[in-house]
Amino acid sequence: MVRDILAALPTGRALDAACGTGRHAAFLAAGGHTVLGVDSSPDMLAYARRNAPEAEFVEGDLRDLPVPDASVDLVTCALALTHLPALAPAFAEFARVLRPGGHLVTSDIHWQSLYLGGIASAVDAHGVESRLPASRFRPSAYVTAAVGAGFAVRACHEPLWPHSETGGGPFLRKWAADAVDAAYEHTPAALVWHFERL
């Protein structure tokens, strides 16, 4: 869904904010954009440089982007905003770096799926697994942050989980398949936004 939105936008200077392994950066570069990826994790940036050698990658924070004012035509931020305690600082930065008329495409796991346990975990250097921060931002929180920063809403999508053998994860399905199906039926998996900088 994110790729469909990105592919329909004019090519230009694109920022993949919280780029991770650079999957969207690679897609944008292949589509003819000049791409900058920013992430706070040097390890992720090392993957991204291998995955998208055409793009440039810089270490930085979503709330203090190492990017000049009004210097990009497109920002995408995928599966990262829920790790922040508040949306407004990141949206202020997206608004700052985008030129007027530029586009912002965000995606996150849907807050309803966070309630069902869809929270990422990571293993630290000592082998200890812990859950990552996961704020439950509702659509109203995105609209408030985006409109407050100077964006207009172009589109909002809430794609549902597919009804499949893997809904709820293989482990839960093994023990309580009917309950998992009932919990995930008609439940949105993601929240995808397309905003325009006014």
Ligand X SMILES: C[S@@+](CC[C@H](N)C(=O)[O-])C[C@H]1O[C@@H](n2cnc3c(N)ncnc32)[C@H](O)[C@@H]1O
Residue with tokens 């589509």: 31
Scanning residues 75 to 134, which ones bind ligand X (CB under 6 A)? Answer: 78-80, 83-84
Q: Which helix (H) or strand (E) holds 35?
A: strand 34-39
Give 176's contacts (C-beta < 8 A, 6+ positions apart). Answer: none
Structure tokens at 182: 């009932």
CB-CB contact of 157 with 4 (8 Å): no
How many degrees, rounded to 5, is the angle at CA 5 between CA 159 and CA 97?
115
Site for ligand X contains 25 (CB under 6 A) = no
| Per-residue burial over 107-122, b = 16 or more CB atoms within 10 Å of its CB, e = otherwise | bbbbbbbbebebeeee
Q: State in angstroms the smallest separation of the CB of 190 from ligand X.
A: 11
| Count of residues in contact with ligand X, rule CB under 6 A | 16
With contacts defined by CB under 6 A, name the span among 74-82, 94-102, 141-149, 164-172 that binds ligand X: 74-82
Q: State in angstroms the smallest separation of the CB of 120 from ligand X.
A: 6
Scanning residues 28 to 57, which ones bind ligand X (CB under 6 A)? Answer: 39-41, 44
Q: State in angstroms the smallest separation of the CB of 3 from ligand X.
A: 11
Q: Which is nearer to ligand X, 119 or 153 (CB)?
A: 119
Q: State in angstroms the smallest separation of the CB of 182 from ligand X.
A: 27
| Interface ranges with ligand X (CB under 6 A) | 18-21, 23, 39-41, 44, 61-62, 78-80, 83-84
